[in-house]
Chains A and B, each alone.
Chain A
Amino acid sequence: MSKLKVLAIASSGGHWTQLMRLIPAFKEHHIIYVTTNNGYRKQVNGSEFYPVSDATRWQKLKLIKMGFEVGKIVLNKKPDVVVSTGAAPGLMAIIWAWLMGKQSVWIDSIANVDRISMSGRIAKKFCTFHLTQWEHLADNKSTLFKGTVIK
């Protein structure tokens, strides 16, 4: 089996912390990390790492800028697959992956207990697998529960 190029992307804070807890699943592949805080570079020492602008879905212009930054990375690096724990940057990467005919998985944050996040609801249309970390939010068809980032 040849190594895949995996784009692992999350915004800073809780989304990034949750992405870091998935690292054991990445071990056989080449990982390209993307996040909104350059300070996290040291945490993935030695791995490819790119910071992008921070933006939430309420900051339209910043969001567009960030969307293009993520797009540039996806187009240049040509990952085989995208993994994201949210939020806005992950959604952007999943849409870019979809445009390029690549597969992706969205893991909705464990913080979303009542309903899937807004980004997650949009990502659902573009990702290969859509996961929630709360069993009651899974429909076992298009949104799956496969465990949580807490062991």
Chain B
Amino acid sequence: MIFLVVGTQEPFDRLVSAMDEWAATSGYTDIFGQIADSSYLPKNFSYARFMDPETFNEKFKTASLIVAHAGMGTILQALQLAKPIVVLPRLYKYHETRNDHQVSTAKSLEKLGFVHAVYSGEELIETLNKRDTLQTAPPIGPAASETLLMFIQDFLNSCKK
């Protein structure tokens, strides 16, 4: 199952419609979409606008591939569960978000081997057509790096009651 995740903040019609187009042309419809307030409604797979955390986590666990906006919550969850993830960054010019920070997030994390970034609906479709060749990043641990944890722990211990 491919799990499509657009996050909870804003709609993402460009991603939902590209996914639907791919489902129609490929005939692959084992897809579930979390589409928030998108106005484009998928015709070829089932979806929910919002999901409670339990249902969402369940879908995430059973998915073999995550296709998502370049939001850190989704990316971190994919890395923790060792799921391959394809991200399409939201763009300011289409009013998909307030700035283009997702483009930088996607580029930087792709360089580190954590995500597969695509920058258009066409690119997403090309990537989905060769989805069996997508590499999965080695899973990340459940917590932050030791140095960050130590810094915060030391800071807390230095604070007076």
B-contacting residues of A (Cβ < 8 Å)? 1-2, 4, 6, 12-18, 21-26, 28-29, 37, 39-40, 42-43, 56, 58, 80-81, 83, 103, 105, 107, 109-114, 128-129, 131, 134, 146-151
Within 8 A of A (CB), among B66-106: 70-77, 79, 98, 101-102, 104-105
A-contacting residues of B (Cβ < 8 Å)? 7-9, 52-54, 70-77, 79, 98, 101-102, 104-105, 107-108, 114, 140-153, 155-157, 159-161
Cross-chain contact B159 with A24 (CB below 8 angstroms): no
With known contacts A13-B9, A114-B101, A151-B144, A4–B72 Cβ distance under 8 A? no
Cross-chain contact B140 with A150 (CB below 8 angstroms): yes
> Could you tell me the distance in whole angstroms from the C-beta of A111 to the nearest C-beta in chain B?
5
Residues of B within 8 A of A25 (CB): 144, 148-150, 152-153, 156
Cross-chain contact B108 with A105 (CB below 8 angstroms): no
Instruction: Please classify the interface of chain B as helix (H, G, I), strand (E, B), loop, or mixed, using the class held by over half of its residues.
Output: helix
Cross-chain contact B148 with A147 (CB below 8 angstroms): yes
Q: Chain B residue with minimal CB distance to A149?
A: B144
List 8 contacting pairs A-B, 8 Å CB cutoff, sorted by A: A1-B157, A21-B143, A22-B148, A25-B152, A103-B159, A113-B105, A134-B108, A149-B76
